[in-house]
Amino acid sequence: MLGADDGLVSTAALLVGVAASGSSRGAILTAGVAALSAGAMAMAIGEYVSVSAQADTESGDRRREQEELDVDPQGELLELAAIYEGRGLPSALALEVATILQEQDPLGAHLRDELGHTQASAARPMQAALASASSFAVGASIPLLAAALSPAGPRTVIIAIVTLVSLCLLGVVGAALGSASRIRGALRVGVGGVLALAVTYGIGAFFGTAT
């Protein structure tokens, strides 16, 4: 959702600014395709680097936990039991549960309950990079299509309207997924989109007139 919002706003703002400068359809579309490509690549690289750092941290945690288990398994058992006791289990039951889990999968038990690492939450850099790039490209394609299909006269207005409607819809969907206020979600992204489009339109119009 965030990637699609970024793609929508950044690409639409660029298109509106270029259109406001009086550029031709070809120049506008070239700028839009460049914005989509560059933005998607930037999102992918940024996400890959960030999630790779997380994966490195998780790998370091695994090595450290395995070393601690090899050196002091009894101490690690008591540490695991203390975690369960802190969650409300009686001391004897906490120790029993910790013993069973450490016998079955010692490293997995400590990674899960001591550090919060699970298979579902494991860092996947390439998957994260592809998801970010794809969501950005999907968002960016909406104002780009609007620019490609609209006539020269009302092009800027059409791009702005299509972008703001799409942003509000994404805001509603995001709010619904998070069980938040749909109106607040739509207004938040809608107002932000209006500001971004207004600023780039003003800049494009100024430089278009100046040149």
CA distances from 79 to 24, 25, 91, 95, 113 (A): 68, 66, 12, 10, 10
pLDDT digits (tens, 9 = 90+) for 13-35: 999 999 888 888 899 999 999 99
Burial of 119 (0-12, 13-18, 19+ CB in 10 A): exposed
User: Residue 190's Cα: distance from chain center in Å?
Assistant: 19
Give pTM, 2 decimals. 0.76
Tell me how far apart the alpha carbons of residues 58 and 73 are, in angstroms, rounded to a whole number. Answer: 21
pLDDT digits (tens, 9 = 90+) for 168-193: 888 888 777 777 788 887 788 888 88
